[in-house]
Amino acid sequence: MTIHDRHATRTATTLVNPPRMAKRALGAPELIGLSQRLVVFHATAADIETLLPRARREMGGGASNAVVLAVARHNPDSMWGIARRDRYMAGDTAAEGYNAFLMLNDEGADELMAGRLDAKNPPLHLLSRQHEKPAVVYGWGIYAPGALVGGVPLAFDKASTPLYREAPIIARAATPAGHRLLSTIGFQRGAVFRGKIAPQFYMFPRGKSIKEGRAIYDTHLGNESEDDDVSITVVRSIEDFMRVVTIRSATFVAE
């Protein structure tokens, strides 16, 4: 008789299997083209009251309206409404979908990775305010039916400003459609952050967290503010390979 531990299997998959290439990674031309027909904006209290009941029915649960309103008041960047550009420009400013984030501070990130964060009722002291840098941006929820999914990259762009761009984005998929969406736009299965592994999450590494999912010798980020004085990376493209050939020719062959 054998025992199959699903947690151990997910953890091993996170560490051993290479991440799949995203079919439509954030910033891909086809997603940008779709996004041009949409707008995102800070969701209003009326948007939250209208959209959340629909989202809870589709996802089989979720945070209450009162909790989401409290989080949005704590940090307005937590709740982004999505609407069709033509309706928005015509004066109909009501959101048709939304993308919600939890901007977690250091303590909140630790609680998330340890599996102790109550996402249905997150304590506000675990969340950063609008002027504070978060440790992790948690993808709290996405409700973007149909063509509104093109607004998701726009919302993620709002979470990529100088204040937020170094924080990795971590999310949990509540539905099969959520699993497909996160894989499609470039999230990796399994979160690795500050030495902790959470295989139940998806992760979009940013900042120094990029190094944690790599081999110990692959430390180059391509960002002077993040890289050490000396860093190493692996050749991943023909352009990188030609740079290696050029350096070798100049230093070994020519000399």
Rounded CA separation 115/112 (Å): 5
What CATH architecture does domain 6-211 belong to?
Answer: 3-Layer(aba) Sandwich (3.40)
Tell me, yes or no, if the pTM score tops 0.85: no
What are the b/e assignments for 32-67, b being 16+ CB within 10 Å? eebbeebbbbebeeebbebbbeebbeebeebbebeb
Residue 252 in this model has a pLDDT that exceeds 80: no
Chain segment 147-206, per-residue pLDDT in tens: 898 898 899 999 999 999 999 999 998 788 888 888 888 888 999 898 899 999 999 998
Contact 153, 31 (CB under 8 A): yes
- Residues 43-60 have a mean pLDDT of 93
Neighbours of 202 (CB within 10 A): 23
Contact 156, 169 (CB under 8 A): yes
- The DSSP code for 127 is B
AA letter at 45: A
Rounded CA separation 12/189 (Å): 11
Ranges of CATH 3.40.630.30 domains, the chain: 6-211
Number of H helices, E strands in the chain: 10, 7
DSSP 60-101: T----HHHHHHHHHH-GGGEEEEEEHHHHHTT----SEEEEE
* pLDDT value of residue 22: 47
* pLDDT value of residue 2: 42
7 vs 219, higher pLDDT: 219
Chain segment 91-117, per-residue pLDDT in tens: 888 999 999 999 999 999 999 999 999
